[in-house]
Structure 1
Amino acid sequence: MRMCLPRHWALGLYRHGLAASLLAVLLPLAVAATEPGAATVVTPPRPLAGLDLIDHRDRPLNTTSLSGKWTVMFFGFTHCPDVCPTTLARLAGIQRQLPAAARDRVRFVLVSVDPMRDTSQRLAEYVGQFGQDFVGATAPLGQLGPLLRELGVSYAYTAQADDEHAAHASHGAPAYTVAHSDHLYVLDPQARFYAVFTRPDDYQVLRALSTWAGESGAGQ
Protein backbone atom coordinates (compact mmCIF):
# COMPACT_ATOMS: atom_id res chain seq x y z
CA MET A 1 0.00 0.00 0.00
CA ARG A 2 1.49 3.33 -1.05
CA MET A 3 1.22 6.10 1.52
CA CYS A 4 1.38 9.85 0.97
CA LEU A 5 3.69 11.73 3.33
CA PRO A 6 3.31 15.48 2.68
CA ARG A 7 5.80 18.26 3.33
CA HIS A 8 3.21 20.43 5.11
CA TRP A 9 2.45 19.54 8.76
CA ALA A 10 -0.24 20.06 11.41
CA LEU A 11 -0.94 19.33 15.17
CA GLY A 12 -1.77 16.06 16.82
CA LEU A 13 -1.67 12.34 16.31
CA TYR A 14 -4.65 10.36 14.97
CA ARG A 15 -4.85 6.87 13.58
CA HIS A 16 -7.82 5.16 11.96
CA GLY A 17 -8.50 2.06 9.91
CA LEU A 18 -5.24 0.93 8.21
CA ALA A 19 -5.04 -2.39 6.40
CA ALA A 20 -7.24 -4.33 8.84
CA SER A 21 -10.11 -1.97 8.14
CA LEU A 22 -9.94 -2.55 4.40
CA LEU A 23 -9.69 -6.31 4.86
CA ALA A 24 -12.79 -6.26 7.04
CA VAL A 25 -14.66 -4.65 4.15
CA LEU A 26 -13.31 -6.84 1.35
CA LEU A 27 -13.27 -10.33 2.86
CA PRO A 28 -17.08 -10.81 2.88
CA LEU A 29 -17.42 -9.58 -0.71
CA ALA A 30 -17.69 -11.53 -3.91
CA VAL A 31 -14.48 -10.78 -5.80
CA ALA A 32 -14.20 -10.07 -9.52
CA ALA A 33 -10.57 -9.02 -9.88
CA THR A 34 -8.90 -11.60 -12.06
CA GLU A 35 -6.21 -9.30 -13.50
CA PRO A 36 -3.59 -7.17 -11.75
CA GLY A 37 -4.98 -3.69 -11.18
CA ALA A 38 -8.57 -4.75 -11.85
CA ALA A 39 -11.47 -3.84 -9.60
CA THR A 40 -12.78 -5.87 -6.71
CA VAL A 41 -16.54 -5.74 -7.22
CA VAL A 42 -18.96 -5.65 -4.30
CA THR A 43 -21.79 -8.15 -4.78
CA PRO A 44 -24.42 -7.00 -4.15
CA PRO A 45 -23.61 -3.26 -4.15
CA ARG A 46 -23.64 -1.86 -0.60
CA PRO A 47 -25.71 1.20 0.44
CA LEU A 48 -23.65 3.76 2.37
CA ALA A 49 -25.36 5.06 5.49
CA GLY A 50 -22.41 7.39 6.24
CA LEU A 51 -22.42 9.23 2.92
CA ASP A 52 -22.87 12.77 4.28
CA LEU A 53 -20.33 15.22 2.82
CA ILE A 54 -20.12 18.85 1.73
CA ASP A 55 -18.68 19.64 -1.70
CA HIS A 56 -16.37 22.48 -2.70
CA ARG A 57 -19.37 24.68 -3.47
CA ASP A 58 -20.74 24.14 0.06
CA ARG A 59 -23.52 21.90 -1.22
CA PRO A 60 -24.54 18.53 0.27
CA LEU A 61 -22.87 15.52 -1.27
CA ASN A 62 -24.96 12.52 -0.32
CA THR A 63 -26.94 9.63 -1.75
CA THR A 64 -29.44 11.98 -3.37
CA SER A 65 -26.95 14.34 -5.00
CA LEU A 66 -24.68 11.51 -6.20
CA SER A 67 -27.48 9.45 -7.73
CA GLY A 68 -27.65 9.19 -11.50
CA LYS A 69 -23.93 8.84 -12.29
CA TRP A 70 -21.04 6.56 -11.53
CA THR A 71 -18.76 8.14 -8.93
CA VAL A 72 -15.04 7.50 -8.52
CA MET A 73 -13.83 8.57 -5.06
CA PHE A 74 -10.24 9.13 -4.06
CA PHE A 75 -9.40 9.95 -0.45
CA GLY A 76 -6.50 12.34 0.08
CA PHE A 77 -5.81 16.00 0.87
CA THR A 78 -4.70 19.14 -0.91
CA HIS A 79 -1.28 19.52 0.77
CA CYS A 80 -0.16 16.09 -0.43
CA PRO A 81 3.05 16.51 -2.45
CA ASP A 82 2.98 13.37 -4.58
CA VAL A 83 0.30 10.66 -4.49
CA CYS A 84 -2.71 12.99 -4.64
CA PRO A 85 -1.69 15.24 -7.55
CA THR A 86 -0.34 12.25 -9.44
CA THR A 87 -3.53 10.23 -8.94
CA LEU A 88 -5.81 13.15 -9.84
CA ALA A 89 -3.78 13.85 -12.98
CA ARG A 90 -4.14 10.19 -13.94
CA LEU A 91 -7.90 10.37 -13.34
CA ALA A 92 -8.08 13.48 -15.51
CA GLY A 93 -6.40 11.50 -18.27
CA ILE A 94 -8.84 8.64 -17.80
CA GLN A 95 -11.74 11.09 -17.97
CA ARG A 96 -10.48 12.46 -21.30
CA GLN A 97 -10.17 8.94 -22.72
CA LEU A 98 -13.64 7.74 -21.73
CA PRO A 99 -15.95 7.16 -24.68
CA ALA A 100 -18.32 10.05 -25.24
CA ALA A 101 -21.27 7.82 -24.34
CA ALA A 102 -19.78 7.15 -20.90
CA ARG A 103 -17.96 10.41 -20.07
CA ASP A 104 -21.05 12.32 -18.94
CA ARG A 105 -22.08 9.42 -16.71
CA VAL A 106 -18.90 9.39 -14.58
CA ARG A 107 -17.82 11.93 -11.95
CA PHE A 108 -14.54 12.10 -10.04
CA VAL A 109 -14.46 13.18 -6.39
CA LEU A 110 -11.53 13.97 -4.11
CA VAL A 111 -12.67 13.45 -0.51
CA SER A 112 -10.29 15.21 1.87
CA VAL A 113 -9.29 13.40 5.05
CA ASP A 114 -7.81 16.69 6.28
CA PRO A 115 -10.90 18.87 6.91
CA MET A 116 -9.01 21.10 9.37
CA ARG A 117 -7.06 22.61 6.48
CA ASP A 118 -9.11 21.74 3.42
CA THR A 119 -11.84 24.36 3.34
CA SER A 120 -14.34 24.48 0.50
CA GLN A 121 -12.39 27.36 -1.07
CA ARG A 122 -9.13 25.44 -0.86
CA LEU A 123 -10.78 22.34 -2.37
CA ALA A 124 -12.32 24.38 -5.20
CA GLU A 125 -8.94 25.85 -6.14
CA TYR A 126 -7.26 22.47 -5.96
CA VAL A 127 -9.65 20.25 -7.92
CA GLY A 128 -10.08 22.99 -10.52
CA GLN A 129 -6.51 22.33 -11.62
CA PHE A 130 -7.47 18.86 -12.82
CA GLY A 131 -10.81 19.46 -14.49
CA GLN A 132 -13.91 21.63 -14.22
CA ASP A 133 -16.01 18.55 -13.56
CA PHE A 134 -13.86 17.31 -10.68
CA VAL A 135 -15.48 17.60 -7.25
CA GLY A 136 -13.80 18.29 -3.92
CA ALA A 137 -15.59 17.23 -0.73
CA THR A 138 -15.06 16.74 2.97
CA ALA A 139 -16.84 16.95 6.33
CA PRO A 140 -15.85 17.38 9.98
CA LEU A 141 -14.03 14.26 11.17
CA GLY A 142 -16.94 13.12 13.33
CA GLN A 143 -19.20 13.28 10.27
CA LEU A 144 -16.61 11.87 7.87
CA GLY A 145 -15.68 8.89 10.06
CA PRO A 146 -18.70 6.65 9.34
CA LEU A 147 -18.08 6.75 5.58
CA LEU A 148 -14.38 6.00 6.03
CA ARG A 149 -15.22 3.00 8.17
CA GLU A 150 -17.85 1.70 5.74
CA LEU A 151 -15.41 1.83 2.82
CA GLY A 152 -12.39 0.69 4.82
CA VAL A 153 -10.37 3.80 3.96
CA SER A 154 -6.87 3.74 5.46
CA TYR A 155 -5.32 6.99 6.71
CA ALA A 156 -3.39 8.29 9.69
CA TYR A 157 -2.41 11.64 11.20
CA THR A 158 1.13 11.56 12.53
CA ALA A 159 2.79 14.22 14.69
CA GLN A 160 6.09 15.60 13.46
CA ALA A 161 9.40 16.23 15.21
CA ASP A 162 10.03 19.60 16.87
CA ASP A 163 12.57 20.73 14.28
CA GLU A 164 10.10 20.05 11.45
CA HIS A 165 7.39 21.91 13.35
CA ALA A 166 9.70 24.90 13.87
CA ALA A 167 10.45 25.06 10.17
CA HIS A 168 6.77 25.65 9.43
CA ALA A 169 5.76 27.65 12.49
CA SER A 170 6.30 30.97 10.76
CA HIS A 171 3.67 30.03 8.23
CA GLY A 172 1.14 29.13 10.88
CA ALA A 173 1.05 25.50 9.76
CA PRO A 174 0.11 22.94 12.38
CA ALA A 175 2.51 20.04 12.92
CA TYR A 176 1.00 16.83 11.57
CA THR A 177 1.15 14.90 8.34
CA VAL A 178 -1.52 12.67 6.82
CA ALA A 179 -0.66 9.25 5.42
CA HIS A 180 -3.26 7.58 3.22
CA SER A 181 -3.71 4.87 0.62
CA ASP A 182 -4.14 5.41 -3.12
CA HIS A 183 -7.23 3.21 -3.53
CA LEU A 184 -10.12 4.23 -5.79
CA TYR A 185 -13.70 3.58 -4.61
CA VAL A 186 -16.53 3.38 -7.13
CA LEU A 187 -20.18 4.12 -6.39
CA ASP A 188 -22.90 3.06 -8.80
CA PRO A 189 -25.70 5.37 -10.06
CA GLN A 190 -27.68 4.58 -6.90
CA ALA A 191 -24.70 5.87 -4.86
CA ARG A 192 -23.98 2.38 -3.50
CA PHE A 193 -20.47 1.02 -2.91
CA TYR A 194 -19.89 -0.94 -6.12
CA ALA A 195 -16.15 -1.61 -6.48
CA VAL A 196 -12.66 -0.74 -5.25
CA PHE A 197 -9.35 -0.57 -7.09
CA THR A 198 -6.71 -1.41 -4.48
CA ARG A 199 -3.90 -1.23 -7.02
CA PRO A 200 -5.27 1.22 -9.59
CA ASP A 201 -4.11 0.64 -13.14
CA ASP A 202 -5.11 3.29 -15.67
CA TYR A 203 -6.06 0.81 -18.38
CA GLN A 204 -8.12 -1.32 -16.00
CA VAL A 205 -9.90 1.71 -14.53
CA LEU A 206 -10.66 3.10 -17.99
CA ARG A 207 -11.93 -0.24 -19.26
CA ALA A 208 -14.13 -0.84 -16.22
CA LEU A 209 -15.66 2.64 -16.21
CA SER A 210 -16.26 2.51 -19.96
CA THR A 211 -18.09 -0.79 -19.54
CA TRP A 212 -20.11 0.11 -16.45
CA ALA A 213 -21.12 3.60 -17.59
CA GLY A 214 -21.77 2.41 -21.14
CA GLU A 215 -24.03 -0.39 -19.93
CA SER A 216 -25.96 1.89 -17.57
CA GLY A 217 -26.42 4.40 -20.37
CA ALA A 218 -27.67 1.76 -22.77
CA GLY A 219 -30.33 0.81 -20.27
CA GLN A 220 -31.70 4.34 -19.90
Structure 2
Amino acid sequence: MSMQGRIGRAGETKVKRALGVQALLEWAFRTEKAQLELPPPKDASEEGFGFGLEYILMQRAALGCKVDGGQHKMGSYTHADAEVVAATVAGMPDSLGGIRMAISVAEMARAGITPDWMPGVVPRCVPMETKQNQHGERSATIVVGTVRMRVQGPTARGTWKTIDILACPVTWRPHPEQIASARRGYEDWWQALDWVRDGLAAGEMLREVEVTAAMPKVRPWGSGP
Protein backbone atom coordinates (compact mmCIF):
# COMPACT_ATOMS: atom_id res chain seq x y z
CA MET A 1 0.00 0.00 0.00
CA SER A 2 1.36 3.37 -1.00
CA MET A 3 2.31 5.80 1.76
CA GLN A 4 0.86 8.61 -0.34
CA GLY A 5 -2.70 7.35 -0.33
CA ARG A 6 -5.06 4.42 0.22
CA ILE A 7 -7.94 2.90 -1.73
CA GLY A 8 -11.37 3.49 -0.24
CA ARG A 9 -14.37 1.17 -0.46
CA ALA A 10 -15.66 2.85 -3.60
CA GLY A 11 -12.25 2.60 -5.27
CA GLU A 12 -11.29 6.23 -4.71
CA THR A 13 -7.80 7.22 -3.56
CA LYS A 14 -7.62 9.20 -0.36
CA VAL A 15 -4.47 11.29 -0.18
CA LYS A 16 -2.86 11.41 3.23
CA ARG A 17 -2.01 14.73 4.82
CA ALA A 18 1.80 14.91 5.04
CA LEU A 19 3.27 16.56 8.13
CA GLY A 20 6.72 16.82 9.66
CA VAL A 21 6.97 15.22 13.09
CA GLN A 22 6.88 18.53 15.00
CA ALA A 23 3.80 19.69 13.10
CA LEU A 24 2.23 16.26 13.57
CA LEU A 25 2.81 16.39 17.32
CA GLU A 26 1.30 19.87 17.53
CA TRP A 27 -1.71 18.69 15.53
CA ALA A 28 -2.20 15.68 17.81
CA PHE A 29 -1.71 17.38 21.17
CA ARG A 30 -2.71 20.98 20.46
CA THR A 31 -5.46 20.68 17.85
CA GLU A 32 -6.85 17.23 18.67
CA LYS A 33 -6.00 17.50 22.38
CA ALA A 34 -4.80 13.92 22.59
CA GLN A 35 -3.68 12.76 26.02
CA LEU A 36 -0.74 10.59 27.03
CA GLU A 37 -1.65 7.13 28.26
CA LEU A 38 1.35 6.62 30.53
CA PRO A 39 2.25 3.21 31.96
CA PRO A 40 1.42 2.64 35.65
CA PRO A 41 4.17 3.05 38.29
CA LYS A 42 6.35 -0.01 38.75
CA ASP A 43 5.03 -0.49 42.29
CA ALA A 44 1.37 -0.29 41.23
CA SER A 45 -0.86 -3.03 42.58
CA GLU A 46 -2.04 -5.81 40.29
CA GLU A 47 -5.60 -4.49 40.62
CA GLY A 48 -4.65 -1.13 39.23
CA PHE A 49 -2.64 -2.47 36.30
CA GLY A 50 -3.89 -1.62 32.83
CA PHE A 51 -2.57 -2.05 29.32
CA GLY A 52 -1.13 1.08 27.73
CA LEU A 53 -2.86 2.66 24.75
CA GLU A 54 0.04 1.71 22.48
CA TYR A 55 -0.51 -1.99 23.28
CA ILE A 56 -4.26 -1.71 22.66
CA LEU A 57 -3.74 0.03 19.33
CA MET A 58 -1.26 -2.61 18.20
CA GLN A 59 -3.65 -5.41 19.13
CA ARG A 60 -6.53 -3.78 17.27
CA ALA A 61 -4.37 -3.26 14.21
CA ALA A 62 -3.28 -6.90 14.29
CA LEU A 63 -6.92 -7.99 14.42
CA GLY A 64 -7.90 -5.68 11.59
CA CYS A 65 -10.16 -3.58 13.82
CA LYS A 66 -10.84 0.06 13.16
CA VAL A 67 -9.00 2.28 15.65
CA ASP A 68 -11.52 4.54 17.32
CA GLY A 69 -10.89 7.60 19.44
CA GLY A 70 -12.67 10.14 21.58
CA GLN A 71 -12.31 8.56 24.99
CA HIS A 72 -9.54 10.98 26.00
CA LYS A 73 -11.15 14.26 24.89
CA MET A 74 -14.17 15.35 26.91
CA GLY A 75 -17.20 16.26 24.86
CA SER A 76 -15.71 15.78 21.40
CA TYR A 77 -13.89 13.34 19.15
CA THR A 78 -10.12 12.86 19.21
CA HIS A 79 -8.84 11.75 15.81
CA ALA A 80 -7.65 8.14 15.80
CA ASP A 81 -4.32 9.15 14.25
CA ALA A 82 -3.79 11.61 17.09
CA GLU A 83 -4.31 8.73 19.54
CA VAL A 84 -1.65 6.73 17.70
CA VAL A 85 0.78 9.67 17.94
CA ALA A 86 0.09 10.00 21.69
CA ALA A 87 0.58 6.26 22.20
CA THR A 88 3.90 6.37 20.38
CA VAL A 89 5.13 9.30 22.49
CA ALA A 90 4.05 7.48 25.66
CA GLY A 91 6.39 4.63 24.72
CA MET A 92 9.49 6.84 24.88
CA PRO A 93 12.44 4.61 25.93
CA ASP A 94 14.39 5.34 29.10
CA SER A 95 17.53 5.92 27.00
CA LEU A 96 15.85 9.06 25.62
CA GLY A 97 14.34 10.26 28.90
CA GLY A 98 11.39 7.92 29.33
CA ILE A 99 8.17 9.27 30.83
CA ARG A 100 9.71 12.64 31.68
CA MET A 101 10.72 13.24 28.07
CA ALA A 102 7.35 11.96 26.82
CA ILE A 103 5.56 14.52 28.99
CA SER A 104 7.95 17.27 27.91
CA VAL A 105 7.46 16.48 24.21
CA ALA A 106 3.69 16.41 24.61
CA GLU A 107 3.46 19.63 26.62
CA MET A 108 5.72 21.58 24.27
CA ALA A 109 3.67 20.36 21.32
CA ARG A 110 0.49 21.37 23.16
CA ALA A 111 1.92 24.85 23.70
CA GLY A 112 3.34 25.05 20.17
CA ILE A 113 6.87 25.79 21.35
CA THR A 114 10.37 24.38 21.00
CA PRO A 115 12.95 24.17 23.81
CA ASP A 116 14.66 27.46 24.60
CA TRP A 117 18.24 26.97 23.44
CA MET A 118 19.06 30.59 24.40
CA PRO A 119 19.46 31.97 20.85
CA GLY A 120 21.79 34.92 20.51
CA VAL A 121 22.85 34.78 24.15
CA VAL A 122 26.53 35.57 24.81
CA PRO A 123 28.06 35.32 28.30
CA ARG A 124 28.98 38.75 29.72
CA CYS A 125 31.45 39.52 32.47
CA VAL A 126 29.51 41.49 35.10
CA PRO A 127 30.04 42.50 38.76
CA MET A 128 28.75 39.94 41.22
CA GLU A 129 27.15 42.74 43.24
CA THR A 130 26.33 46.40 42.74
CA LYS A 131 25.49 49.21 45.16
CA GLN A 132 23.37 52.29 44.69
CA ASN A 133 24.29 55.69 46.12
CA GLN A 134 23.76 59.35 45.32
CA HIS A 135 26.22 59.07 42.44
CA GLY A 136 24.37 56.17 40.80
CA GLU A 137 25.05 52.47 40.60
CA ARG A 138 28.57 51.26 41.35
CA SER A 139 30.23 47.87 41.44
CA ALA A 140 30.69 46.49 44.93
CA THR A 141 34.29 45.87 45.98
CA ILE A 142 35.99 43.70 48.56
CA VAL A 143 39.35 44.00 50.33
CA VAL A 144 41.79 41.43 48.98
CA GLY A 145 44.93 42.66 50.72
CA THR A 146 46.82 45.63 52.11
CA VAL A 147 49.94 47.55 51.24
CA ARG A 148 52.01 50.04 53.21
CA MET A 149 52.83 53.24 51.40
CA ARG A 150 54.60 56.41 52.36
CA VAL A 151 52.26 59.32 51.88
CA GLN A 152 53.91 62.70 51.31
CA GLY A 153 53.02 65.05 54.07
CA PRO A 154 53.93 68.61 55.04
CA THR A 155 57.32 67.36 56.11
CA ALA A 156 59.87 65.86 53.77
CA ARG A 157 59.83 62.54 55.58
CA GLY A 158 56.09 61.88 55.00
CA THR A 159 54.12 59.24 56.86
CA TRP A 160 53.49 55.53 56.37
CA LYS A 161 49.92 54.35 55.91
CA THR A 162 48.30 50.99 55.38
CA ILE A 163 46.07 51.10 52.32
CA ASP A 164 43.48 48.47 51.41
CA ILE A 165 43.74 46.78 48.02
CA LEU A 166 40.23 46.61 46.56
CA ALA A 167 38.91 44.29 43.87
CA CYS A 168 35.57 43.88 42.14
CA PRO A 169 34.40 40.24 42.08
CA VAL A 170 32.93 39.37 38.69
CA THR A 171 30.98 36.52 37.19
CA TRP A 172 29.66 35.41 33.82
CA ARG A 173 25.96 35.94 33.11
CA PRO A 174 24.50 33.78 31.86
CA HIS A 175 27.12 31.27 32.82
CA PRO A 176 28.47 29.30 29.83
CA GLU A 177 27.27 26.09 31.50
CA GLN A 178 23.70 27.44 31.51
CA ILE A 179 23.87 27.94 27.75
CA ALA A 180 25.46 24.52 27.25
CA SER A 181 22.75 22.91 29.41
CA ALA A 182 19.96 24.60 27.44
CA ARG A 183 21.44 23.37 24.18
CA ARG A 184 21.87 19.84 25.50
CA GLY A 185 18.18 19.96 26.39
CA TYR A 186 17.33 20.97 22.83
CA GLU A 187 19.45 18.15 21.42
CA ASP A 188 17.71 15.63 23.75
CA TRP A 189 14.31 16.90 22.53
CA TRP A 190 15.47 16.58 18.91
CA GLN A 191 16.56 12.98 19.49
CA ALA A 192 13.15 12.23 21.03
CA LEU A 193 11.34 13.67 18.01
CA ASP A 194 13.58 11.66 15.69
CA TRP A 195 12.63 8.50 17.59
CA VAL A 196 8.91 9.35 17.38
CA ARG A 197 9.20 10.02 13.65
CA ASP A 198 10.96 6.71 13.02
CA GLY A 199 8.41 4.83 15.13
CA LEU A 200 5.41 6.33 13.36
CA ALA A 201 6.93 5.68 9.93
CA ALA A 202 7.83 2.09 10.77
CA GLY A 203 4.52 1.33 12.50
CA GLU A 204 2.39 2.30 9.47
CA MET A 205 -0.63 2.76 11.76
CA LEU A 206 -1.55 6.28 10.66
CA ARG A 207 -4.60 6.22 8.42
CA GLU A 208 -5.18 9.79 7.30
CA VAL A 209 -1.90 11.57 8.01
CA GLU A 210 1.67 10.73 7.08
CA VAL A 211 4.87 11.68 8.87
CA THR A 212 7.53 13.06 6.56
CA ALA A 213 11.30 13.23 6.92
CA ALA A 214 11.16 16.93 7.87
CA MET A 215 12.84 17.68 11.21
CA PRO A 216 13.74 20.81 13.17
CA LYS A 217 17.35 21.92 12.87
CA VAL A 218 19.72 19.65 14.76
CA ARG A 219 21.80 22.54 16.12
CA PRO A 220 20.18 25.87 15.22
CA TRP A 221 22.98 27.73 16.99
CA GLY A 222 25.57 26.33 14.57
CA SER A 223 25.98 25.99 10.85
CA GLY A 224 24.41 22.52 10.60
CA PRO A 225 21.06 21.64 8.96
TM-score, reference length from structure 1: 0.23
Larger radius of gyration, structure 1 or 2?
2
TM-score, reference length from structure 2: 0.22
Q: Which has the higher contact order (CA 8 A, sep 6+)?
A: 1
